[in-house]
Amino acid sequence: MIANLFRKVFLVDLFQGLWVTFRNQDPKRIYTEQYPAERPKVGERYRGAPRLNINPDNGETLCISCNLCALACPENLIVVTSQRNEQTKRKDLTTFTYDTSRCMFCGLCEDACPVDALELTQDFELASYTREGAIWDRQMLEEGPKPTQYKC
């Protein structure tokens, strides 16, 4: 009874909660990532900016223009055009358009690609100043977005 009255008058339960808060003020317990000074290390399987991979030996694109990625996309935002190469009897990729403004980064296109040409990388800084800048053509896809780096 007296203990209850003591607890009530001297705000013991409030101080108990406040102690939790003060305990967490220790600088060792700071959890915030100071972006952009420290850029977060995202996971290996992160679904970020798309990239068209190039064969490292001869610099040609790995894409075989099979159009599976365009068929797999729920939003139908990939457009692949190609022309037939008479010598090798295969298709050569001419243009590859990818609309990142409507993309939901679900990864279905990456899963569908049979030759691992289309890959979602770990780049997450894809902002652009214009709507048209979000529609990526083949060159942008191969090089990747190049956000301006600032030094602080």
Partner 1 sequence: MPEATFLDATELVINMGPQHPSTHGVLRVILKLDGEKVNGTECVIGYLHRGVEKIGENRTYQQFAPYVDRMDYVAAVSNGLGYCLAVEKLLNVEAPPRAQAVRVILTELNRIASHLLWLGTHALDIGAITPVFYCLREREEVLKIFENYCGARLTTHAFRIGGLLYETYDGFEEEVRKFCDWFIPKVDEYEELLTNNRIWVGRLKGVGILSADECKEYGVTGPVLRAAGVQWDLRKAQPYSGYEQYEFDIPTGENGDTYDRYTVRMEEMRQSTRIVRQAVERIPTGPIMGKVPKVVKPPVGEAYVSIEAPKGELGYFIVSDNSTQPYRLRVRPPSFVNLQALDCMVRGGLVADVVAIIGTLDIVLGEVDR
Partner 2 sequence: MADEQKPEGPVAPKPAAAKPAAAAHAAPPKPPAVMVTTPWESDIVQLLKDHFGDDITEFSTYLGQNFLVAKPDAAIAILDTLKLELDFDYLVDITAVDYPKRAKRFDLVYILYSFARNERIRVKTMIPDGYMPATAVTVHLAANWLEREVFDMFGIQFAGHPDMRRILLPEEWQGYPLRKEYGILQQDDAWVRENLGIESGQ
Tell me which residues touch partner 2 (CB under 8 A): 64, 66, 68, 71, 76, 114
Contact flag: residue 42 with partner 1 (CB under 8 A): yes
What is the identity of the amino acid at 112?
A
* 37 DSSP 8-state letter: T
Position among 54, 66, 77, 105 found at the interface with partner 1 (CB under 8 A):
105
Q: Which helix (H) or strand (E) holds 35?
A: none
Contact flag: residue 55 with partner 1 (CB under 8 A): no
First to last CA, the chain: 59
Residues 6+ apart with CB under 8 A from 67: 80
Contact flag: residue 62 with partner 1 (CB under 8 A): no
Q: Closest separation between CB of residue 70 and partner 1, Å? A: 12
Position among 26, 34, 38, 45 found at the interface with partner 1 (CB under 8 A):
45
What is the identity of the amino acid at 21?
T
Q: Report the C-alpha gap between 58 and 39 in whole angstroms.
A: 33
Contact flag: residue 77 with partner 1 (CB under 8 A): no
Contact flag: residue 111 with partner 1 (CB under 8 A): yes
Q: Which two tokens stand for residue 98?
A: 């990818």
Cβ proximity to partner 1: between 74 and 90 the closer is 74
Q: Closest separation between CB of residue 87 and partner 2, Å? A: 18
